[in-house]
Structures are given as structure tokens and as C-alpha cells.
């Protein structure tokens, strides 16, 4: 009997030693950072990845070794892992890594839609972005755009708000396009609601068209309302807008970078030298500032403007003043 008790006691001691050793090993495991480089490590977690698959992936990347400790940790601290691309920070231990992979704190990328871009340029930026999934066709005049985006208008030009859009790996070019379209709808509605009374604009779409012209004419914030004022007064007086950017847009791919006298005489739906009123569609993607300027134009009396050679414009109320500004620009006295 004493011998059995002695054996039992020895077994208990051995079990205690094993348990203590295991516990110490587990605590060392928790306290030991993974082999993450000093600048961090990108870790892409696939949809449906299990805990064991995560450990295998970490091991394959040389960041950690597999072992029973991972199974214990995952049993004691269960997580729901979220697919995505994560940046693992140097010094992170096993608990921090698993918490990160369940946090949805995925790497964010940015795509900037530039004010004054055309729809074609936006499509090019989406198509050449290597992080986005590509679902879109690249033909900017494809009739499918109207159905895809729910557009009331046949032409997509102008309907996307220039902004910087954040996204994560796995998002698609269609996602960004829809977000930009929804953002423009909101911005246009706000600008239309805040517009001055008595403007010769019959719809938010006409405001969008005018804003796109303003966007192409100036990038200087304080000039936007002045440019808008010139065009609004011209519309009110029945004068042609006579703005080069609309002519250039109408020339399309035939425009070689230099606008010539014959171009100003070539009649297209966008030639505001040969036709009265606004062109049929926007000519670019206007930003919020140009939208607001279109609805809140400067109340001055200028009817003309020309580049001043310093990056801005000279505004004139009469043709004589305008011609003098043109002569000054080209070096005449």
C-alpha cells in the first residue's frame, strides 16, 4: 500500500512538473514577439481561413512556429477572423496578432479623383490601379453605364465627385465609381439647395454642366465665383459663352494640344462660340467649390476674362477693357 501511495505521489509530482513546465512554456510563448520585420509585415487573410490555417501561413512566412500553444490560445481566446490585408506591427505577440486579424483593421489605400478630370481619365485611373479588383468595362460611352449607375442621363460625364477615396484590397473599381457617383449626387443636391434665386439654370444638371466649365477655366478658389458670374451674366443676356474648354471637349481625340481659329469655327454640340447656351453635357468632373460657385456667382458686372500670364485671370466689364487685357497678355501696348 505504501508503495502504491509512493508511486501515486511521484506521479502527481511528475504531473505537476509537466503542468508547470507547460504553463511556463505557454507563458513564454505569449510573451515572445513574432519575427515581424522592423517595418512591419503585410499579412493577407483569405475568406474562411481557420485558426490552424492562419498558424500555417504565419509559419510559412517565417513569422512564427506552429505548436500546441497556438491551439490553447485559440481555445482560451476565441476570435472571429475577418478576411483582408493587415499590417502586423513589429513587437506583436501571438495574442496581439490574433486580435489584429479579428479587428477588421485592414490596410487602407487611397485613390484621388482629381478636379477637372474627364470620365475617361477616371476610368483610366481605376483600370491602372493594381490594388482594386477590376469589374468595369473601359468604354466611357458604353450604354451600360446608365443601367449600372442608375443615371437619368445618357452620358456619364460629370457625375463623379473629385475626392480622395479610401479602400481596402478586395474592393472593386465599381465600388469606387459608385461611391464617387453617390458623393456627387449629394454634393450637387446641396449646391442646388443653396443656390441664389433668379439664376438662368433650370435644373441641377444644368448647374453641373456650368460647374464643369468653371472647373476647367480656373483652379484658383477666389476666381471660381467670378468665372461663374461672367457665364451667368452671358446666359442672362443671351450672349454665347465662348469658352475654349467646351470647344476642346467637343474636338475629342482630334485635339492636339493647340486650339486654333478653325477649331473655334468648327461647329459641334460643345462649341460655345457657334452655339448659344450651355453645352449638352458636363465637360469634366467638377469639385464642390465649382458646384457652389455655379450656384452662387459673383455679383459684379464682368462679361469677359482672359489669362493674366501669372496663373490667374483679368476680368473686364466691356469689350474694350477685355481687348486691352488681351493686348497686354500678348505683349502689345
| 48 class by beta-carbon count within 10 Å (0-12 exposed, 13-18 middle, 19+ buried) | exposed
CA distance 296 to 192: 10
CA distance 324 to 333: 8
CA distance 110 to 296: 31
Packing angle, helices 221-237 and 288-295, rounded to 10: 40
Side-chain-facing half-sphere of 38: CA atoms under 13 Å: 0
Which residue in 26, 144, 154 sits closest to 94, CA to CA? 26
> Would you state the pLDDT for residue 170?
85
Packing angle, helices 221-237 and 204-217, rounded to 10: 120
Side-chain-facing half-sphere of 88: CA atoms under 13 Å: 26
> Would you state the pLDDT for residue 333?
45
Place of cell 448647374: 207
Please give the chain's pLDDT, 333 residues, in tens: 666 666 655 556 566 556 666 688 888 888 989 899 999 999 999 888 899 999 999 999 999 999 888 899 999 999 898 888 999 999 999 999 999 999 989 999 999 999 999 999 999 999 999 999 888 765 555 555 566 666 666 789 999 999 999 999 889 898 999 999 999 999 999 999 999 999 999 999 999 999 999 999 999 999 999 999 999 999 999 999 999 999 999 988 888 878 888 888 888 999 999 999 999 999 999 999 999 999 999 998 999 998 888 889 989 999 998 998 888 877 754
Q: How far is residue 148 from each of residues 72, 137, 144, 255, measured CA to CA in Å? A: 49, 11, 6, 30
Q: Which residues lie below 8 Å from residue 153, measured CB to CB, with a gap of 6+? A: 146, 159, 205, 281
Which residue in 325, 292, 302 sits closest to 225, CA to CA? 292
> Would you state the pLDDT for residue 253?
84
Sign of torsion over alpha carbons 310, 311, 315, 319: positive
Q: Which three cell numbers stand for residue 180?
A: 464617387
Identify the helix (H) or strand (E) that includes residue 250: helix 244-251
Amino acid at each position: 500500500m505504501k508503495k502504491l501511495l509512493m508511486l501515486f505521489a511521484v506521479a502527481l509530482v511528475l504531473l505537476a512538473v509537466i503542468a508547470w513546465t507547460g504553463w511556463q512554456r505557454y507563458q513564454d510563448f505569449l510573451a515572445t514577439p513574432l519575427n515581424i520585420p522592423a517595418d512591419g509585415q503585410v499579412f493577407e487573410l483569405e475568406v474562411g481561413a481557420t485558426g490552424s490555417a492562419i498558424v500555417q501561413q504565419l509559419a510559412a512566412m517565417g513569422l512564427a512556429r506552429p505548436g500546441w500553444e497556438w491551439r490553447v490560445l485559440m481555445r482560451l481566446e476565441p476570435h472571429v477572423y475577418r478576411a483582408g490585408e493587415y499590417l502586423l506591427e513589429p513587437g506583436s505577440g501571438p495574442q496581439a496578432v490574433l486580435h489584429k486579424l479579428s479587428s477588421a483593421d485592414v490596410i487602407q489605400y487611397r485613390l484621388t479623383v482629381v478636379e477637372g478630370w474627364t470620365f475617361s481619365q477616371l476610368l483610366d485611373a481605376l483600370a491602372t490601379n493594381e490594388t482594386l479588383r477590376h469589374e468595369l468595362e473601359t468604354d466611357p460611352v458604353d450604354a451600360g453605364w446608365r443601367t449600372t449607375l442608375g443615371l437619368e442621363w445618357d452620358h456619364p460625364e460629370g457625375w463623379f465627385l473629385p475626392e480622395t477615396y479610401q479602400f481596402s484590397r478586395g474592393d472593386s473599381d465599381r465600388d469606387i465609381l459608385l461611391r464617387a457617383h453617390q458623393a456627387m449626387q449629394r454634393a450637387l443636391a446641396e449646391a442646388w439647395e443653396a443656390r441664389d434665386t433668379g439664376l438662368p439654370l433650370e435644373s441641377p444638371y444644368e448647374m453641373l454642366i456650368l460647374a464643369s466649365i468653371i472647373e476647367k477655366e480656373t483652379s484658383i478658389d477666389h476666381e471660381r465665383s467670378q468665372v461663374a458670374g461672367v457665364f451667368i451674366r452671358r446666359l442672362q443676356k443671351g450672349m454665347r459663352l465662348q469658352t475654349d474648354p467646351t470647344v476642346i471637349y467637343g474636338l475629342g481625340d482630334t485635339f492636339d494640344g493647340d486650339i486654333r481659329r478653325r477649331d473655334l469655327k468648327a461647329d459641334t454640340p460643345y462649341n460655345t462660340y457657334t452655339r448659344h447656351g450651355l453645352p449638352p453635357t458636363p465637360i469634366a468632373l467638377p469639385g464642390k467649390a465649382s458646384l457652389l460657385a455655379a450656384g452662387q456667382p459673383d455679383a459684379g458686372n464682368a462679361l469677359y476674362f482672359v489669362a493674366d500670364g501669372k496663373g490667374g485671370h483679368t476680368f473686364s466689364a466691356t469689350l474694350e477693357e477685355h481687348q486691352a487685357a488681351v493686348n497686354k497678355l500678348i505683349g502689345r501696348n
